Amino acid sequence: MNGDIRELYQQMIMDHNKNPKNFHPMPDASRVAEGYNPLCGDHFKVYVKMNGDVIRDISFDGAGCAISKSSASMMTAALKGKTRAEAKALFEEVHKMLSREIGSAFDEEKVGKLATLGGVCEFPSRVKCASLAWHTMLEGIEPTGKQVTTE
């Protein structure tokens, strides 16, 4: 099997795809944001329960490819208990990691387990999959009233 493919679809990503974390609707969410990439059909809702400035709980549901789903799953695991500012900072780091030049380094310490998604930058057409949940989350914590898309 191709090495890039092996890295992209490594075990942790496939595990999150098969058994996603926080994969359920949240009836008492403070906010629900919807992300949809019509060309590929990735379609998720991200639910957040805010306690002042803190993300007390976060979940998602919907359907999409392995990359979009595992990214959403890992995101919810990483953001629970984080403040709005921390969530935005992590969004920035993940965004940098996903859209960096192929072959260049990124700050693995800042992204933690999300470094698993570092190989996505080798697949430019898939960056939009990995980033969909993140943009949707931003809309959840700072709403503009728009449906999110990364296409």
Instruction: Kindly list the residues in this chain that would bind other proteins in the complex (CB under 8 A).
Output: 1-2, 4-5, 8-9, 14, 17-18, 38-43, 63-67, 123, 125-126, 129
Nearer to other proteins, 50 or 66 (CB): 66
122 three-class SS: helix
Single-letter amino acid, residue 22? N
Which lies closer to other proteins via its Cβ, residue 14 or residue 85? 14
Structure tokens at 25: 């609707």
Contact 146, 34 (CB under 8 A): no
| DSSP code, position 148 | B
Put the strands of the sheet holding 54-63 in their side by side order: 31-37, 42-51, 54-63
CB of 8 to other proteins, least distance (A): 7
* Minimum distance of other proteins from residue 12's CB (angstroms): 13
CB of 41 to other proteins, least distance (A): 4
